[in-house]
Chains A and B, each alone.
Chain A
Amino acid sequence: AQTVTQSQPEMSVQEAETVTLSCTYDTSESDYYLFWYKQPPSRQMILVIRQEAYKQQNATENRFSVNFQKAAKSFSLKISDSQLGDAAMYFCAYSSRGSRLTFGEGTQLTVNP
């Protein structure tokens, strides 16, 4: 079975600085997707970024980028120029093609003004 581990229950960052959230996963498959979702207090799950395992290039979305290390089964999220609105719970998630998402336990990010 696939598992996703987020080893940082809480992280904090100063506004305008950079923070990296860690995620590792375990799978025997070669074709899969990885995601970072953000969940603010409103509890709406919002997609931040997505990575296809077959792509060597790391995905980027504006201030958000990932460091995907397939051999190490590592998928970290870097947030640059942190903003107060980035404060939320961040979940790393795994999906093989056409199946359910397996989530980590989440990292609560605080952004300090």
Chain B
Amino acid sequence: GAGVSQSPSNKVTEKGKDVELRCDPISGHTALYWYRQRLGQGLEFLIYFQGNSAPDKSGLPSDRFSAERTGESVSTLTIQRTQQEDSAVYLCASSFSGKETQYFGPGTRLLVL
């Protein structure tokens, strides 16, 4: 596909369980970003990958959050021991070089019961 894709589209989990969210960036885009959007709010930055550089993890809210990226392809955001406050839409974006416009995926809506 031509755009950023994310899976699953929706995820319902129980408090305390771990979840994995996946992002497939646009082919050829070296930069990948994760954001969180709580209900009725703007987006909060979580983490940024650029090529083979060390990721910018400064937005991760706690050590329960981690992310990986394989080369310049797929990224996985993992939330361990989920809490109800983690309920949000998690959006992924990619850009050609990290200095260009970011294009967003459709997001994963996470609900922690």
Which positions in A face B, CB cutoff 8 Å? 4, 33, 35, 37, 42-47, 50, 91, 93, 95, 97-106
Flag if B42 contacts A50 (CB, 8 Å).
no
CA distance A99 to B106 in the complex (A): 21
Known A43-B107, A45-B91: A50·B101 in contact at CB below 8 Å: yes
Flag if A47 contacts B43 (CB, 8 Å).
no
Flag if A103 contacts B101 (CB, 8 Å).
no
CA distance A81 to B84 in the complex (A): 42
Flag if A47 contacts B106 (CB, 8 Å).
no
Question: B104's contact among A44, A98, A106, by CB below 8 Å, is which?
Answer: A44
Flag if A45 contacts B42 (CB, 8 Å).
no
Residues of B within 8 A of A98 (CB): 31, 50, 97-99
Which positions in B face A, CB cutoff 8 Å? 31, 33, 35, 37, 41-45, 48, 50, 56, 59, 89, 91, 93, 97-99, 101-107, 109
Flag if B101 contacts A104 (CB, 8 Å).
no
CA distance A33 to B105 in the complex (A): 21
CB-based nearest A residue for B47 = A100
Apart from A37-B104, A47-B101, A101-B102: 9 A-B pairs, beta carbons within 8 A: A35-B101, A42-B106, A43-B89, A46-B104, A98-B98, A99-B48, A100-B56, A100-B59, A103-B44
